[in-house]
Amino acid sequence: MDEIIENIHEAKRITAFTGAGMSVESGIAPFRGKNGLWNEFDPQAFASASAFAEKPERCWKLFKIQIEESFDADPHDGHYSLVELEEHGLNSVITQNIDGLHQKAGNDSVLELHGSLSRLICPSCQNRFKTKSFLEDIYEGYIPRCECGKILKPDVVLFEESLPQDILQQAWKEAENCDLMFSLGTSAVVQPAASIPTMAKRSEAKIVEINLEKTPLTEEVSDHFLKGKVGEKLPELINLL
């Protein structure tokens, strides 16, 4: 811990890179592993662009659960620690999560690599809407539609879709420019997002990883590995600053 504290004090520009494990303690199911959504929903059938084009109603079974979970969830101490870390040089949060919890906690700059459940988009006329304004209907089981009649899609990156290039570019720039990166609750296997800590490392940033278990980053990329829950380990660390 002492060495990490020293690294944080020395760092001028800190970035946090977060994955589904960041939200688990807020009650949001990850995709893989225990209680993972993919144990119940086949990703190809429920969360791919082709599935949405053919059977959007079926995809909405999954979207409804994800939207309700996210709107019902509250940030935990780990999220609030990242807000506190802004006073010690945290410049931005790069997240693979689509639940909006970093913004709810109050972080200033959040780069959402996989989009957000807080918006819906029409696949035909590309109009965007606030999910909030359809929330009651969604809870009641209605599937939201655009004025043009098409079923709306959460503004998130589905399988077979590419990441928003402008956000990805910004994330890469952050990775190159930071001198310390936290990698929090991510299995670091989904590309190209998983390459972000590797990129930071190549630009000589220190990498601090917190996860319940080792990942491909742990031995190869991370300078420090804290094994445990991000909602416990991160506040412990920040309290020592």
CA-closest candidate to residue 19, choices 160, 158, 178, 215: 215
Active-site residue (options: 76, 79, 102, 114) = 114
Q: What are phi and psi of 113, to 5 degrees?
A: -70, -30
211 binds ligand NAD (CB under 6 A): yes
Q: Pick the binder of Zn ion from 1, 53, 148, 189 (CB under 5 A).
A: 148
Q: How many CB atoms lie within 10 A of CB 219?
A: 9
* Residue 125, binding choice from Zn ion, ligand NAD, none, Cβ under 5 to 8 Å by partner class: Zn ion
Annotate each residue in 84-113 with x if it binds ligand NAD (CB under 6 A) or - if it does not, as one string: ------------xxxx--------------
Please choose which of ligand NAD, Zn ion, none residue 124 contacts, taking the beta carbon within 5 to 8 angstroms, the exact cut-off set by kind: Zn ion
Minimum Å gap between C-beta 208 and ligand NAD is 13
Residues facing residue 224 across a β-bridge: 208
**Helix, strand, coil shares, percent, the chain, to 5:** 45, 20, 35
Edge-to-edge strands of the sheet including 224-227? 110-112, 90-95, 14-18, 180-184, 206-211, 224-227
Among 62, 146, 152, 230, binds ligand NAD (CB under 6 A): 230
Q: Which stretch in 24-32, 71-79, 119-127, 206-214 sits in contact with Zn ion by CB under 5 A?
A: 119-127
Interacting residue with ligand NAD among 7, 11, 15, 19 (CB under 6 A): 19
Give the binding-site size for ligand NAD (rule: CB under 6 A): 28
79 is a catalytic site residue: no
Angle between helix 230-239 and 77-84 (nearest 10): 30
| Distance between CA atoms of residues 225 and 231, nearest Å | 15
Q: Which stretch binds Zn ion (CB under 5 A): 20-28, 143-151, 170-178, 229-237?
A: 143-151
Question: In angstroms, how far apart are the furthest CA atoms of the chain?
Answer: 58
Nearer to ligand NAD, 71 or 150 (CB): 71
Name the residue among 131, 100, 82 with its Cα closest to residue 28: 100
From 44-52, 56-64, 135-143, 179-187, give the range in contact with ligand NAD by CB under 6 A: 179-187
**Nearest residue to ligand NAD, using CB?**
21
Residue numbers annotated as active site: 114
